[in-house]
Amino acid sequence: MVKLTQGIKNVARFLFVTDLDNTFVGDDEALAELEQLLSQNRQEYGTKIVYATGRSPVLYEELKEEKNLIDPDALVLSVGTEIYLDKSNTPDSSWSEKLSPGWNREVVLSKTNVFSELYPQPNTEQGEFKVSFFLEKSLATRVLPQLESMLKESGLDVKLIYSSGIDLDIVPSGSDKGQAMQFLRQKWDFVPERTVACGDSGNDIALFAVGEERGILVGNARPELLQWHNENPANHRYLAKNICAGGIIEGLKYFGFL
Ligand SMILES: [Mg+2]
């Protein structure tokens, strides 16, 4: 009897990873329902809840307070450059160690200085492993390839993430929401089939492209994500009809997690 219960628990638990803005958050009524479902699942089966957001710690706290979000088991902040476990205030050091090779913040700053098209984002948005700018959409197709080859030539192992037609993040190449998700998945011993990621925009492609984890694109997914989805069809990814948390609930049911 005990064994049977154990078995059911292991099957029912899953790793839930979600972007926040316009994915988890955006429809208050559906969010309340989703939070209730997830909390119950966590309590009963040991499901883990992870928020993976481009937001910095400061902007995450603002949103958490505003929407009274349930506590996650881990936080992936600043586009995957920082992982916070439980309620720790310091980034997980084993993740930071993974990001260090090929990264040099000072060199990134000296190279990006050359481009007058790049406007630095506020200090709260900069991190040990993240340099962030605003870049106008109309300039991006010209600036991004130039910047990328300049950074590569200087021996850095970095990548450029351009999102929402305005945000440019330069981060270590081994860093994104998807890599962070896999780090947590392995740490907590979940198989890809019991892992699900949810998102709406360009910086969420990393969540969907990294492996065989299940993916939910909310119904309000942005054009850059939809385009990528159409060009890379996969059975383990689901495009929801409903928006935000409503789309997540729809997707979780589609995959049989709920
Ligand atoms: Mg988003």
Per-residue tokens: 184: 């947590």
Residues 78, 168, single domain; the answer is no
CATH number for the domain that contains residue 115: 3.90.1070.10
Q: pTM of the prediction? A: 0.86
**What pLDDT sits at residue 3?**
47
| Distance between Cα 23 and ligand 1 center (Å) | 6
- Mean pLDDT value of segment 184-197: 97
SS3 132: strand
| Distance between Cα 144 and ligand 1 center (Å) | 21
| Distance between Cα 17 and ligand 1 center (Å) | 12
CA gap 190, 177 in Å, rounded:
17
Judge whether 60 and 72 are in contact, CB under 8 Å. no
**What pLDDT sits at residue 1?**
46
Residues of the chain above pLDDT 70, percent: 96
Q: What is the pLDDT of residues 104-136, one digit of tens each?
A: 999 999 999 999 999 999 999 999 999 999 999
Residues 125, 142, single domain; the answer is yes
74-77 and 82-85 strand pairing: antiparallel
- Of 133, 156, 172, the domain-final residue: 172
| Sheet of 167-172, strands arranged across | 119-120, 131-134, 167-172, 158-163
Given a cut of 90, whether residue 7 has pLDDT beyond it is no
